[in-house]
A = this chain, B = another copy of it.
Amino acid sequence: MQERPLILVTNDDGITAPGIRMLVEVMKELGDVAVVAPNSPQSGMGHAITIGKPLRLVDSDIFDDVTAFECSGTPADCVKLAKHYALKDRQPDLVVSGINHGSNSSISVLYSGTMSAAIEAAIENIPAIGFSLCDYSHNADFSHIREYVKSIASKVLDEGLPKFLTLNVNFPKKQEEEIKGVRICRQARAKWEEEFEQRFDPMGQPYYWMAGNFVNFDKGEDNDEWAIANNYVSVVPIQFDLTAHHAMSVLGEWEF
C-alpha cells in the first residue's frame, strides 16, 4: 500500500477558527495531517516574518488524531517552523492554508496571511493552496464548499503544480443557487480605498481607525472578482517572482 501523503494545514485566523477545523477534517480524508497554525488572529499580516524576537511553539490537542502545534508567529513563520523544525523528519507533500473567513481575491492577496503561508510553501517548492470563503463571519457556512476543497486538494496531490506556483482559491458565500463550477482566473485589478476616522482616547490623544472600501476597476470576465460575483470558485495561479519583465526593456533605455 502506498504511503498516505503528509498534508500541512495552517491559516491566518488562528488555530481555533472554524475554517481551519473544516480544512483539517477534509484533509484527513486525503492523507496524514499535521497542523502548525498561529495562536492568535493574523489577518492582514501579509508576508510578515518574525525578526528580532523568538517564537513559541506549543503542542495542541484541539484536533482529534492530528499532530498540531500553535505558534506565536505569523502564517509565514508557521510554514518555516513546520518545514525546518516540527516536520523536519517528514516533509509535507502539500500545504493548505485557510479556510479563511473572508475574501483574499484580487489585491487582497498581498495583504493576506493565508496566502503568505501558501507562497512560503511555494518558495520551498512544496505544492500549496490558499482557500478563502467570501464570508467574513465567524460562524460562516462552509458546507457548500466542502466537496470543492477536497477535489481541488486531491487534484493538486495527484498532478502537482507548476514549479514555484501556488493557488489562490476563493469561494463565493453560500447562496440559494449552487456554485456553478471552477474558473481559472487572473487577479482582478482593484484596490482598497481607505478612510481614516479620528477619535480621541480618554487622555485626549488622537487615534485613527482604518476602514477600507474595496474598489474594483476591472471590467474583464476572466478575473477572480467576476468569477466570485457570478457564483464560481476562482482559482488564480500565484507566483512570487515580482519582476515586471515587460518593463525591463523600457527601463533599459534610461541613463543614470
Residues of A near any B CB (own CB < 8 A): 41, 43-52, 54-57, 76-77, 80-81, 83-85, 107, 109-111, 116, 119, 123-124, 148, 151-152, 155, 159, 162, 165, 167-168, 181-182, 184, 186-187, 189, 191, 193-196, 199, 205-210, 233, 235-245, 247-248, 250-252, 254, 256
Contacts and interface: CB of A to CB of B under 8 A. Distances in A.
B49 A47 contact: no
A51 B46 contact: no
A55 B187 contact: no
The count of identical subunits is: 2
A18 B64 CA distance: 52
B240 A110 contact: yes
Greatest chain B CB density within 10 A among A41, A119, A240 is at A240
Contacts of A51: 43-44, 210
Given A52-B41, A248-B184, A208 B240 contact: no
By Cβ-Cβ distance, the 5 closest A-B pairs, closest first, are: A46-B47, A44-B51, A237-B247, A239-B244, A46-B46
A244 B207 contact: no
A195 B41 CA distance: 25
Given A44-B48, A240-B107, A207 B248 contact: no
